[in-house]
Amino acid sequence: MLNTPQQDEPKHSSSSSGTPPLNLSQLLALARAQTIDEQSDALEQPHRAADSVTPPTGDPYLLFTCADVACAAPLTHFREVLPTLPTTVALPFSPSWVLGFFAFHTDLVGLVDPAPFLFADPEMTGISRARARNGRIIVPGLAASPNNALRQGAPESGPTAVVVGVGERTLALAVSSVGDIAYMGKDDLDTAPVLTAPARVPVERFRAGSFTLRDSQPAYQVLKINALLDTLLDSLMSVEARSHE
């Protein structure tokens, strides 16, 4: 719950104290910082931008990449952004897009690669098990090799996951990276297909449109994240049902 100061109470906002609040990308940068200099730089970013900040208009969208395609979705549809891919336990005989399950607070949540569904290409791999640089896939009954390369790279260089859904209908989507938060009005959304580099767009049922930031070259593909979540959950339930046959 957000607390708003009463008119007769002294205000202790971040602007009066000279410390602007960190946005999501700055918080991620701070979490991934490995040296004091990197932490100081992450904390100084809002100070450097404070003088030029104007109140945003429109609705907030989270920017991220999936299979190297710039994507965006309404921020309100995301529960959490993980700093790195989590360590997961693989589901036996599961397809490659099911990366495993992990403990999320008090729940057990599945980690999936949405790329094969998002782009209607079963052979596509956005984040494969072999590329899960920061997380680790634990396959029951399989001894880990000393040369196992499933855990490699620094947190700031690897992929991560975004958690969507509520209750039992919750999944973590593995993505290549997570960017900033952009604000977009209804007039900013272009519903015509826009090819990006690489030249692919999400399938129609998962695509709401696209938009381009003023200082950005790529067009962001705006996703219907709830429709994608429903399809992934239905497919995952089918996988679990087949595993019990």
What pLDDT shows up at residue 238? 80
pLDDT of residue 52: 57
Cα distance between residue 99 and residue 95, in whole Å: 8
CA distance readout (Å), 2 to 5, 140: 10, 44
Q: What is the DSSP letter of 9?
A: S
Q: What is the pLDDT of residue 165?
A: 93
Residue 244 has a pLDDT of 59
Residue 146, judged by CB atoms within 10 A of its CB (0-12, 13-18, 19+), counts as exposed
Per-residue pLDDT of the chain (245 residues; tens, 9 = 90+): 434 444 444 444 444 445 556 566 666 666 666 677 776 776 676 666 555 556 777 899 999 999 888 899 999 999 999 988 888 888 777 888 998 899 999 889 999 999 999 998 888 877 655 545 445 555 544 444 444 333 322 333 358 899 999 988 999 999 988 988 988 887 888 876 665 555 678 999 999 988 887 665 678 899 999 999 999 999 988 866 666 55
How many whole angstroms from its chain centre is CA 233?
A: 17
Please tell me the predicted confidence (pLDDT) of residue 219: 84
Residues 62, 72: contact at Cβ < 8 Å?
A: yes
Beta carbons of 72 and 212 less than 8 angstroms apart: no
CA 221, CA 234: separation in Å to the nearest integer? 23
Amino acid making up residue 1: M
pLDDT score recorded for residue 48? 61
Rg (CA), the chain: 20
The whole-number pLDDT of residue 179 equals 87
Number of H helices and E strands in the chain, helices first, is 4, 12
At residue 34, the pLDDT reads 66
